[in-house]
Amino acid sequence: MGERIVVLGGGIIGLATAFECQRRGHEVVVLEKVACGGQASGAAAGMLAPFSEIGEDPDDFFRLCLESLKLYPKWQKEVKEVSGMNFEYTNSGSLHCVYHEADLLALETRQQWQGQFGAKAEILYGEDLFKLEKELSRDMIAAMYYPEESHVYAPDYVKALEEGCRKLGVKIYDYLEEVTLHSWQSEITMVAKDGRTFSGDRLVVSNGAWAKELETVLDLSIPVYPIRGQICAYNIPVGKVKHIIYTSQGYLVPKANGTLVNGASEDIAGFNTAVTEKGIRRLTNWNKNVLPFLEEEVPFHTWAGLRPATQDGYPLIGTLSNTPEIIFAAGHYRNGILLSPVTAHIVADLLDKKQEIVPLTSFSPERFS
Ligand SMILES: Cc1cc2nc3c(=O)[nH]c(=O)nc-3n(C[C@H](O)[C@H](O)[C@H](O)COP(=O)(O)OP(=O)(O)OC[C@H]3O[C@@H](n4cnc5c(N)ncnc54)[C@H](O)[C@@H]3O)c2cc1C
């Protein structure tokens, strides 16, 4: 029989989890302080790029990201079908570009170990690279081409997930301003600012950069911190840039609607989501070294979001050992859009007592306590 699940936070992680749990027969309620998708999830560039993001070592986090990338083709189709809404999902491939011969060894090392995990990865040099992406700066000497890396248009993906949840029967309560955990001993009871209470059998903590709020009430160390990402977008002719382009100083993602998304800074500014001139300038000053035509262009839109970072860079996913009524799904830092399907499946599998699709020990929410 299905359980009554209360999901705290209506970002991509909370909504994806609600979507998966409801369609498996649970009865889900999402509680959101402000607007669903109004924080990090709506601000993201939407890259699904585990090979570009994790270049150092094959660890449990890399495996988690890889599992999620594999789930995406089916997952995004299902979200579209259930919601009746479309959103961009583009298999663009990506180019991880380098400028110096000394960087080639690192590319070769990456290619070798990622290849062992089935990654398609090809190093392209000089003219072969420029044939694939014509506008690239001729100062580059090579790039790793990852044909399987892709991207979604994150604001539309969140909207479709929210609609999909509603269509499945998830009850979404937004603009609650404040929601606190009141008790969990006999059943989960959450209280909103206006005094309304919400109860359930289980609580999923998916309130992103705000997860630390539960530290005192749960007597648990939850080192999740907001890392501000400032980001901007240019208007360019559709098709002028074809791939996600990574360099050591940032990335550029060409969207189907003609915007070229350029991110992102990593600054510590508490819960402040203001955009600073310095933050954006740091991104745009570099762009002429990547795509020289951008020297003449000015971004038409700038924004910022708060990535939920943890002390060791890994998310918190799993059940509390002495309080199995509480499941964490928070701290996804730079990869929450990529990790949304796998997180949703893991939480639903925990509820349904199914075999874990990846080992969860490294992601234990209690590892800092
Ligand atoms: C500039 C930028 C670019 C990014 N690019 C990418 C990318 O290309 N690919 C990728 O995979 N990831 C990317 N990310 C990271 C990704 O956006 C995050 O990892 C992901 O959105 C986290 O989702 P979340 O649901 O945990 O958090 P959020 O989206 O922040 O959602 C948490 C929600 O919880 C709510 N909340 C907080 N406290 C409470 C409470 N007490 N009660 C009720 N609700 C509460 C908040 O209002 C919020 O809506 C990027 C992030 C930024 C900022």
- Asked whether residue 339 carries a pLDDT value surpassing 80, the answer given is yes
pLDDT tens-place string over residues 135-171 = 999 999 999 999 999 999 999 999 999 999 999 999 9
User: How high is the pLDDT of residue 17?
Assistant: 98
Query: What mean pLDDT do residues 304-322 have?
Result: 96
Those residues whose C-beta lies under 8 Å from the C-beta of residue 163, and which sit 6 or more positions away, are 83, 84, 85
In this structure, the number of other CB atoms found within 10 A of the CB of residue 189 comes to: 17
Residues 6+ apart with CB under 8 A from 126: 141, 142
Q: Which spans in 84-180 are helix H?
A: 104-115, 126-132, 154-168
Give 209 Cα–ligand 1 centroid separation in angstroms: 7
Average pLDDT in the 36-45 region? 98
DSSP assignment of 183-235 equals E-SSSEEEEETTS-EEEESEEEE--GGGGGGGHHHHT----EEEEEEEEEEEE
- Residue 225 has a pLDDT of 97
Residue 343 in this model has a pLDDT that exceeds 90: yes
Whole-number pLDDT of residue 171: 98
Residue 58 has pLDDT above 90, yes or no: no
Average pLDDT over residues 45-51: 97
Average pLDDT over residues 246-271: 96
CA 20 to centroid of ligand 1, rounded, Å? 18
d(CA 88, CA 154): 8
pLDDT value at 185 more than 90: no
Ligand 1 pocket test, candidate residues 218, 268, 332, 340, most atoms within 8 A of CB = 332
pLDDT for the residue 56: 80
Mutate to test the pocket of ligand 1, among 29, 64, 207 (most ligand atoms within 8 A of CB): 207
What's the distance, CA 227 to chain centroid?
13
Confidence of residue 363 (pLDDT cuts 50, 70, 90): very high
Task: State percent of the chain over pLDDT 90.
Answer: 96
Ligand 1 atom 10: the closest Cα is on which residue?
335
Structure confidence at residue 57 (pLDDT):
80
At 55 the pLDDT is: 78
In the structure, which protein residues have their CB atom closer than 6 angstroms to any atom of ligand 1?
A: 8-14, 31-34, 38-41, 43-47, 179, 206-210, 213, 229, 231, 263-264, 305, 307-308, 330, 332-338
Cα first-last separation, the chain: 33
Q: Looking at domain 4-82+154-220+312-363, which CATH architecture does it have?
A: 3-Layer(bba) Sandwich (3.50)
pLDDT at 1 over 80: no
Computed over every residue of the chain, the mean pLDDT equals 96
- What letter would DSSP give residue 295? G
| pLDDT score recorded for residue 167 | 98
Res. 285 pLDDT band, cuts 50 70 90: very high
Q: How confident is the model at residue 80 (pLDDT cuts 50, 70, 90)?
A: very high
268 band by pLDDT with thresholds 50, 70 and 90: very high
Distance CA 70, CA 354 (A): 19
Q: Which of 271, 307, 346, 347 to mutate to test the pocket of ligand 1 (most atoms within 8 A of CB)?
A: 307
For residue 178, list its beta bridge partners: none
Query: In the predicted model, what is the mean pLDDT of residues 50-55?
Result: 90
**pLDDT digit string (tens) for 230-258?**
999 999 999 999 999 999 999 999 999 99
- The Å distance, Cα 234 to ligand 1 centre, comes to 23
| Mutational pocket test of ligand 1: of 7, 15, 20, 39, the residue with most ligand atoms within 8 Å of the beta carbon | 39
pLDDT at 63: 93
Least confident of 21-35, 44-58, 224-238, 293-307: 44-58
